[in-house]
Structure formats: C-alpha cells, structure tokens
Structure 1
C-alpha cells in the first residue's frame, strides 16, 4: 500500500502549490471537501473526507483517507470507499462496533462500520434518490468492503443524506442513533437501530433559525456544562448552505435536550422570525463567524470523551475556483469543543488543537512583549517565516482607543495585508481580507467578516493562527473567525497598530510553528 505524508510547499512546486498550508491538511493532488467518518481507533485519528480521486474540482465523490497520532501531522492513504457505476459516496460517519452488533467483526476484534450516503446514479436501481448505506473494515480502517444489503435506509428522497451515527445509552435504552438531513426541507431526521442495518424512525427537528438554504452534515452530542457531569446538555450542529452569517456556507448549532427519541432546543437557542418572516442571522448560534468553516463534524470514540471537531476550510460560493494546483481545498485545524456558561447561558467554546506548551528551549522561534503601552503607534512584530505558520497569542487592554488592528501577511511595499481589527466602541472584531492579496479569482471572495466580542474585565484575548489562512479564537474560544487568504509573494510582514488613544499590551507572544 502506498502512503504519502502531509504535503507542504517545497522545491520544484509552482507558485500555486507553495500556497499549501503547514498545519492544515490538504490532499496531495486532488479535490477534497466535507470531513466525514471521523474516528479514533487504536491510537490513530482517522480523517475521511469527500474526495475526487481524478481531479481538483468537485465530482466522482469518494472517501479519501488520512491518519494522524496528534491531529497536526497527517499521513495520506489511498481512497478508502470509492464511487462506482451505481453510486457516488457522499458524507457520513464511522463507529467502532464494540459489541459486534452488526456481525461484521467479533467482540474481541470489533469492526469499523461506515454509514454513508449513496447518491444513486442514472441507470441504477435507486436512481434519483439518496439513501444510507454501510461499509465495514476489519483491518483498522485501511481497507473497506461495501455491505451487500445496501442501502439500509431510504425515504424515496433525492436529498436525504449525511448520516452521523453514535451510541446512545439512556432513558430510551441502548441503541445506535442516526441524525441525518432532509436537506431541502431544512430538517434533521432521527432514527434508531440495534444492529446498524435495520432502522426505525424516531423524530424530526426543524426548520429553525437559519433555514433559507440546504441543511447538511448534522451532528448531535452531549457535553457537560462547565465540566460538571451533573449538568449535561446536548448540542445539535447543523451546517447550512447558503444562509450562513458571513454569506454562503457555515455551521449553526442549538443547545438543548435529547431523550433518546427527540431533540428539543432550549428557547434561548431559538431565534424568532421578524415580522416579515426573515431571521436575524446574527442572533443565531454559529460555530464560526468567518467565511471558511463548513461541514464541521466531530470524532467518534475519542479518548477521555473529548469532543474534537474538524471543518472544511472553504465556502461553496467560490470553492471550485481557489487559485491552487494540483490540490484544491483543505481542512481547518482540529478544535476541541466544550460547553461553558457565557452570560448565563450554555454556549460552545472552541480551542485549536496545538502544542499546549512551547518551552523556551523547544527551538521554536518566539518573541514576547509584556506591559507595553502603545499610543497612536505601530508595534513591529516578527515576520512570518517561509515554511512555517505563525501563532499570535495576545492579551490587550484597549482602554478608550478607536481601533486595534493586527496587519498580517503584509506585502513588502505595504500594498496588501489581511487585517484583524477590534473596535471597542461597537465591540466588533473584524477580519478583513479585501486587500489580502489575490482576491480576483472570484467575485465573492474579497470580504470582511465581523463578530460581536464582549470583553472580560476590559481585556481582549486573542489566539491567531496564520497559515495561508487566518483562524482567530477570541475570548478563550467563545468567538471564532476563519478565512482563507492568498497573499502576494513575499508577504510576510506583521504588525500591531493602535489608533485614537492608548492601549496596553498586557502580553503578546509570537511563535513560528513548522
């Protein structure tokens, strides 16, 4: 079996290839989109994903495959579950069948079971419909066999897809639960099964909140609030396209209760339509306020019950037009998610999975600024380094300034930069890529996204990862903004600008990660 490690820019690659990120997964020379089948098994995180094995645009949907021990270093494997003359293989999930309920493995050596959407082609028995099918692996996820009894669940629908399956044990008994979507009806539909093959309908949720576009890639999981096992809430993630807060694709979520049959959203998770029937999208709950975080789902079977998510770092508005070759599109950083009390309500907080500690003797280039006052001035920060990603961690007391702005990936002549700014008056954090470099490849790419950020004790806390993209985690992950950028050649400059008063840099650390 041939394998290829995570692909990074190097000698012999053209300009488009040198736009590969360092920390974010990309396929070697093909297209990818939705992450699916995320599972941890025998020490490996398995990232399966929608993949076109033959080209770098959407089509021929199959499951690509990569593995990692730390969610940062990835090894790409051959296509796992391939399309054929009958079906395209759309999104889904994987479970470790510990009890061998399916009979595909043994109790001592459980099979991995993939539940995926068969998008049936013209001429097939089920042409024109989407239904749920199974594949299984008995060698740790490296080779897969499609179940002879496919499909195992259909509704006669052309848009019934994206099954996320998990093991439920609670008041309704022990069973497998599937959440899938009727995409064009903006509904999450739920089923249960004892053996992963025979499914019984449970309930439907939706439409709710952002419901103008198609609903896709749902996820449902429990989380303790503030780490308290006596206070557990359920989170329902629903990705929507179009209809996201920043335009195009994005992921919304609801907090509520699941009793093994039905999910009920808390009233504070729901937004009532305005008098004209429209919904204020900025009142909805969003995984990410940027343009480029979609189809996010979580890993199954993770150690210590950690809830870790990965999203597709792209937007259907311009996905097929990204100026890269031969690869196109990549994944977000893995994010660990928790429920915390925010302004009295349970809300998701997200933290990127990065090395927790970078000691002084680690060899990682690092610069630290502490207790620095800036008055209508510019603080020059270390340049980004070719072949590395930049990590900026900041605690800033804005005081009464008019604006605080990080200029990232600045061109040598100052003509281009990505700007992350905070306005203390409006409490808005804005990520602006309109002058970030190459934005002309699609009319919808140049954009500026903003999110409301409430300061704690007057302090703005930011964690910024710059890696041919910008992912911003504000206030310990309560607010996240993610955007792709395509800077001009040589655009490595970084600075911090304060306008309209004095701000205090309590602490600012810039690290180079390679």
Structure 2
C-alpha cells in the first residue's frame, strides 16, 4: 500500500463512532456499565485487520462518544479462540471469583476449541473473571462450564432473573444452524441447567447469533412490562446479508413466549417485510445491550458492517466501526408493541465544536439543489418533509456533483430508501453498491428524519426512531455537500436543522 492510499483510507476513520486503532473488530461483547464507565469489549484480531485470531478487544467511555482503547482483554491461545459473550457484575459473589466485599466481574464467553485441544471443533461456554474493574482477566481453570458437544453453540448473554419462578442467572445462547435460542439457568455461573428453547421463527435465512433478553415497559408504563428477545442472523436480512430481529412477549423464568411471531419454522420469503427488524440497513449486526446501564436505560450497540463484504471495506490500518449507542424503548405502534430507538451518546459534550445551518418552509422543485452553507463531513441532520407532487424526495449527503448518498422517501411505495451506488468507493466488492429500503408511512402527512453522518457511515432514525437504517459509505475526497432533491414534482422542507461537528 502506498502512503497516499494509506492516507486516503485513514480519512474514513469515524469521528462519532468507535473503531480500533489499527486492527480488525466485529461483534460487540461484554457490554457493561461499571464504576461510572461504559465498557465495550468486542471481537478483535489483535494481529491483523481481517477476521482471525479471535480475542476480546476492550475500550471504555464516560459518555458513549469518546472511547479509549485498552490492551486485549481476553486473548486467544493455542487451545481456543475467544468468541462472543457477555459480562455480569457478580454482586453477591455467587461464583466465588471475588469476595463478599469485593465482587468480581465475570465474563461468560464461547470457547471455539481448536484442533489439537481437548475439545477439537467444539463450541462451549467458558468463564473469565476480573478483580480490577474489567481491565485484566483470568480464565477459569475449570473451563468449559457448559458443553453440549456442539460445533455451533455460542454467544451467551447472561442476565439476572428475579421473578415468580425464583432468583438466578439466565443464559440465552444459540444453536446457530438450528435457528434456536437455548435458555439455561445457574445459581453460581458454573453449573447450568437447561430451561427451554425458542425457534425457529421468523427470519431463518442465515445462522442465528448473538441473542439478548431483557424487559421494557410498554409506552413508559412500569406496570406493563414485556420481555424482548433479540437474535441476529447472517445472511437473511431484509436488504441482504447480516441483520438483527426481535420478538416481544413474556418470560416466566423458564420459557420465552413470543406474541409477535409471524412465521414458525423456515422463513417465508414473501413475508420478510413483516418481521420485526432491529434495523433495516445493510450494516447493523450482532446488536446486544449493556448490563447495568444507569437509570435502567436499555442501551444497545451493534457492529457496523456486513459479512458479505466485511473483510474488504477500504479502510486501513483499522477495519470496521461500531454503531452509535442507542437507547431503545417499547411503544405501541399500529396497535402492536414495537421497539423505538434514538442515539444515546452525550452529544451536548460536542456542542462547543458545532456549527449550525437551518432552513424553514421551503419548497423543493424538481431536481437536485445544493444547500450553500450546509456542507460537512460529520453532521446531525434533523429534517421534516412533506410530499407535494414528487414521486421521490429527500437529501443527498456527502455529495460532490454526481457523487453522494441519496436518502429518500418514495411515498407511493411507503418506503425510505438509501441509495449508495454513487456514494464514493463502491467497487471494492460486488455486493456493496445498493439501493436499500425500509417501510415508512407519513405521520400527519409528513416525514421526520434524524440522520447522523460520519466519515464512513449514515445512521437514520425515521418517525421518531420507529424505523432505522444504518449504512456504511466511503465518500470520494472532497464530497461534503448537502443537497435536497425531488423527482417528478415538488416537496416541502417544513424544517431542516444541521449540526456540523467538523
């Protein structure tokens, strides 16, 4: 790689999102808020910027926007790769890894055992513990603690259950190729008893991975709690490749029962749009939530990439960012419980860096119109639009003449679209250039979008976060214009406010 190429690739490093300094990352792991700090662990290749040598990388943040990278937390060795998992604060020292006065953090992770190990080709669940707040870790000498003899048993998320059935740890993991979530319980994190299984259901076009299970109040009512089960899959997403889905229902301490299942067994390709997706974009995968987030908030981060082209995106020496952290809530939408999401970082901390641009009550005529004074490479865009006679209308971000990423509304189709065919570098993989869509209906005749633009991504929250789309982009040098457009007629900008972070 030439110096010029390296410099160009490094310009894609995000300003608002986490990316490792000079290595590969994928799934977020072990998300926990502890001692006033957010800990983000993640699948990491500490030796290269493509997948391999899976270990747990580690970063911390006080505000979910500014991250400090730390040394590798749990490293692979000659026996095992360290696949995905979760971390709990063992307050009551149930594991015995800490003391009553100084409980430990306990990581529950998947050991992907190598050939030549004691369990060749097997994936089983193991433990590590930290007595210094999550910065150094010791593997349990009796690993693995849960072994089904399976080659596809992985990604444990552990929670504390306290309900009518009792009080104990609950693990949700997957039998990936069976499209099943498996649930276990334990009193000490070492001895596990099978509770039940869930699935196959809804999307089964790829392996199931990285499940999560938690409660949320419906419409903010603490007297009406529902359980949410999330599970990611690859491939089989609504716009091809990697994605995440969710189910809403009840958990009685033994069995999760979904009230939002559309299909059981193999998925129906004609009903893909009816499933409940965490995000409709191409680049939102392996989403899991933080343990012990302050004020009982449910905060979630995903890997911002897609396994179709993940190893090929044009960044160096790092490869792959994380999404923004999102606060998720459960609301009644169209008579059904649905997840609603908003960006959760402390953007107020960036206020001193920001410039703004505003526009009100402006008609968009047929064509593309660059907004003077609105150019930028790192932006938050808040816009409300109303359709006139146009068949499609919206914004073009990170533009430069014919270049740019088109974020549009096709109101007759009831669709939000992201067109990245001309968003800059798109030829590094045949699957990257795309027009992706999500179902979107007007609210009181208008469409409300909040868009976070970074050096290599757009994250879109539509209609107050009822619909989200996350997409990587790799803009051409100098592509910083913001434009509005309409096709086949007119539309109206009711309000447009742009916050420029760089």
Report the TM-score range of the alignment, normalised by the length of the smaller protein.
over 0.9
Displacement of 1:16: 0.7
State the alpha-carbon separation in 2 of the partners of residues 247 and 17 from structure 1: 27
Map 1:495-514 → 2, pairs under 5 A: 495-514=483-502
Q: Do structure 1's residue 455 and structure 2's residue 442 form an aligned pair?
A: yes
Aligned to 1:487: 475
Number of equivalent positions: 498
Question: Which secondary structure state, in structure 1, belongs to the residue aligned with residue 60 of structure 2?
Answer: strand
Map 1:344-493 → 2, pairs under 5 A: 344-355=335-346, 362=352, 364-376=354-366, 378-381=368-371, 382-385=373-376, 389-411=378-400, 414-467=401-454, 468-493=456-481
Aligned to 1:269: 261
State the alpha-carbon separation in 2 of the partners of residues 347 and 293 from structure 1: 18
After superposition, the Cα gap between the structure-2 partners of 1:132 and 1:342, relative to the gap in structure 1 and judged at 3 Å, is same
State the alpha-carbon separation in 2 of the partners of residues 358 and 374 from structure 1: 34
For structure 2, the 5+ residue unaligned runs are none
After superposition, the Cα gap between the structure-2 partners of 1:273 and 1:46, relative to the gap in structure 1 and judged at 3 Å, is closer
Q: What is the aligned counterpart of 1:33 among 26, 48, 61?
A: 26
TM-score, normalised with respect to structure 1: 0.94
Displacement of 1:504: 2.6
State the alpha-carbon separation in 2 of the partners of residues 279 and 135 from structure 1: 44
Q: What is the aligned counterpart of 1:325 among 316, 328, 336?
A: 316
- Checking the alignment, whether the CA contact within 8 Å between 2:65 and 2:346 is kept in structure 1 is no
- Checking the alignment, whether the CA contact within 8 Å between 1:209 and 1:279 is kept in structure 2 is no
- Checking the alignment, whether the CA contact within 8 Å between 1:375 and 1:503 is kept in structure 2 is yes
Q: What is the aligned counterpart of 2:88 among 92, 95, 99?
A: 95
State the alpha-carbon separation in 2 of the partners of residues 150 and 392 from structure 1: 49
Aligned to 2:331: 340
- Checking the alignment, whether the CA contact within 8 Å between 1:349 and 1:479 is kept in structure 2 is yes
Aligned to 2:197: 204
- Checking the alignment, whether the CA contact within 8 Å between 1:210 and 1:279 is kept in structure 2 is no
CA deviation map 1:14-47 (0-9, x unaligned): 1111111111110000000000000000010000
Question: Which secondary structure state, in structure 2, belongs to the residue aligned with residue 417 of structure 1?
Answer: strand
State the alpha-carbon separation in 1 of the partners of residues 39 and 78 from structure 2: 27
- Checking the alignment, whether the CA contact within 8 Å between 2:64 and 2:346 is kept in structure 1 is no
Map 1:43-58 → 2, pairs under 5 A: 43-58=36-51
Question: Which secondary structure state, in structure 1, belongs to the residue aligned with residue 273 of structure 2?
Answer: helix
After superposition, the Cα gap between the structure-2 partners of 1:273 and 1:106, relative to the gap in structure 1 and judged at 3 Å, is closer
State the alpha-carbon separation in 2 of the partners of residues 340 and 396 from structure 1: 23
- Checking the alignment, whether the CA contact within 8 Å between 2:417 and 2:438 is kept in structure 1 is yes
State the alpha-carbon separation in 2 of the partners of residues 436 and 424 from structure 1: 23
CA deviation map 1:39-65 (0-9, x unaligned): 000010000000000000000000000
Aligned to 2:64: 71
CA deviation map 1:178-206 (0-9, x unaligned): 00000010100000000101100000000
State the alpha-carbon separation in 2 of the partners of residues 140 and 182 from structure 1: 31
Question: Which secondary structure state, in structure 1, belongs to the residue aligned with residue 11 of structure 2?
Answer: helix
Q: Tell me how large the CA RMSD over aligned residues is.
A: 1.9
State the alpha-carbon separation in 2 of the partners of residues 188 and 272 from structure 1: 13
CA deviation map 1:330-384 (0-9, x unaligned): 100101000011011110001012446599x845100111222333355433444
Displacement of 1:500: 3.5
TM-score, normalised with respect to structure 2: 0.96
Displacement of 1:459: 1.4
Aligned to 1:185: 178
